[in-house]
A and B are shown apart, each in its own frame.
Chain A
């Protein structure tokens, strides 16, 4: 590759610059890894130990904190809620989004562009600023303090980018596929489900990753819509540990470690697709 840096061939100023850049990159790497490793190690210590020996390895790897956080801190419950909300929202988003993209990409008609733009307008509009009417709307629908409210709002929020990405992919498929299927007697939904959808599977993966992370991590909408503890999602549940009247550093670090684990697991499993997923939308 032409761009590849040739260290040995560079002169002294080149070499110094190279080393300087390496230093920058290495520093940032350390700045990322140290706090995280420290966070995990601290989760095994008692609060007293965290203060007395903050940098050392824990004296023993006790799971006490984890038990406390999981049970007393109800993290098990919050994790389940997060999984339910994120999962259902993504399913709804993928279904409705792929259907809409299909309706836009595979047919030509006058309102086509208008509908496409209507979906797209959602991308630039920060939904947070409309939270009051959203709140009042959900209240009128009787959906306040329900998992449904979060699922619907997250699905709606994800649709614009989903439609954007999927329409792009679907447009790239040749029109003959549809026609051939129709000749074979396939119904319209059949074309959608059996012909087009399987062909955009990589795009579905990208969309999932692109939307699932912000939904999983979202703090704002659960904050506004959820009041009962039973329904809290993980980010909201964590605020319990930072309440006005409590400080247990050991439990705090443990809570943070637990909250981060699902995303790390997901990341390790899919790191290649992850990065591709988030930059694919960008390049387009």
Chain B
């Protein structure tokens, strides 16, 4: 059921949050989002302290940190390639600062450029530079393995979604973690983070208790609910005015000032073949040296162009 008129609070939500609940067919809003996610780099504070490292601002500084950690005999990066979606997440953290973040995204969505844009292709190649710092045989490392190695302090960095913060802490209370956004191409440039609306609550139009449902759903758009949500689940609520507890989430709120849509999920996951599915498998091929970055972008472009009208000129 369309909620535009039923939930007035929706008007004050951010556009990122609303993009995940707006139907493409009629432009109406069909849900109240309950979480937004941001993609970041987690790191182990103890390792950084021991090796006297500072949060990197540029890509080169990041690689230098990874190198130092590897020299000290610790696995620098937990990430692996067995699950394609983890590589998509990796690209969501690393690539925006190289392909031009929202300016590229907006042009892409309008069809003014496409996936074969050199900016996008070159940004994917940055992922290859991380391979020496990934675990041995990283293509066999599954997402669960990745989580485990960061939680058990075997690996020093974990590139992923902010939703893991609560999970990591609960699995190992002794773990001291912090986050920083994907490094900029050049020191001093703004650092963008991919973000997207995660889930939402909707109302079934055939419900026998429409009034009660609408009343409840208005509640989920209130600050009271948003605060309750973020306090208990340690995730970011899209309700405006909600202040998350804890340093990490507050840091993410600040980082979100430079948020950019998580390209493939936000823009191209709504018809088959989805941009996400295409990118996930293709990135596996690239990270395994089976295909080049050019092949990757060609594959994604070819697949998405089947159904994405702006690409069909």
Contact = CB atoms under 8 A, between A and B. Distances in A.
Contacts of B147: 245, 247
Contacts of A244: 143-144
Contacts of B143: 244-245
Contacts of B148: 247
B167 interface: yes
B167 A245 contact: yes
A246 B147 CA distance: 9
Interface string B126-149: 000000000000000001110110
Interface residues of B, number: 6
A50 to B, nearest CB: 12
Interface in A239-254: 242, 244-247
Interface string A211-245: 00000000000000000000000000000001011
Interface string A103-130: 0000000000000000000000000000
Contacts of A246: 144
Most-contacted residue by chain A among B143, B144, B145, B147 (CB, 10 A): B144
Question: What's the dominant secondary structure at chain A's contact region?
Answer: loop
Contacts of B145: 247
Interface string B142-168: 011101100000000000000000010
A229 to B, nearest CB: 20
B307 to A, nearest CB: 21
B240 to A, nearest CB: 29
A246 B144 CA distance: 6
A143 B135 CA distance: 47
Nearest to A247: B144
Contacts of B144: 242, 244-247
Interface in B14-62: none
A86 B145 CA distance: 35
Nearest to B167: A245
B98 to A, nearest CB: 28
Nearest to A51: B152
Contacts of A245: 143-144, 147, 167
A247 B147 CA distance: 9
Taking each of A242, A246, A247, which has the highest tally of chain B beta carbons within 10 Å of its own beta carbon?
A247
Contacts of A247: 144-145, 147-148
Nearest to A244: B143
B230 to A, nearest CB: 19
Interface string B218-247: 000000000000000000000000000000
A242 B143 CA distance: 11
Nearest to B164: A245
A113 B114 CA distance: 62
Nearest to B85: A244
A242 B144 CA distance: 9
Nearest to A249: B148
B141 to A, nearest CB: 12
Nearest to A246: B144
A245 B145 CA distance: 10
A17 to B, nearest CB: 38
A260 B144 CA distance: 24
Interface in B93-149: 143-145, 147-148
Contacts of A242: 144
B87 to A, nearest CB: 15
A247 B145 CA distance: 8
A245 B147 CA distance: 8
A242 B83 CA distance: 13
A247 B168 CA distance: 12
A38 to B, nearest CB: 19
A246 B148 CA distance: 9
Nearest to A242: B144
A244 B147 CA distance: 10
Nearest to B145: A247
Interface in B166-218: 167
A249 to B, nearest CB: 9
Nearest to B146: A247
A244 B143 CA distance: 7
A151 to B, nearest CB: 31
A244 B146 CA distance: 11
A182 to B, nearest CB: 60
B259 to A, nearest CB: 24
12 contacts: A242-B144, A244-B143, A244-B144, A245-B143, A245-B144, A245-B147, A245-B167, A246-B144, A247-B144, A247-B145, A247-B147, A247-B148
Interface of A: 242, 244-247
Give the 10 A-B CB pairs with smallest separation, nearest first: A247-B144, A247-B148, A244-B143, A247-B147, A246-B144, A245-B167, A247-B145, A244-B144, A245-B147, A245-B144
Given A242-B144, A246-B144, 10 more contacts: A244-B143, A244-B144, A245-B143, A245-B144, A245-B147, A245-B167, A247-B144, A247-B145, A247-B147, A247-B148
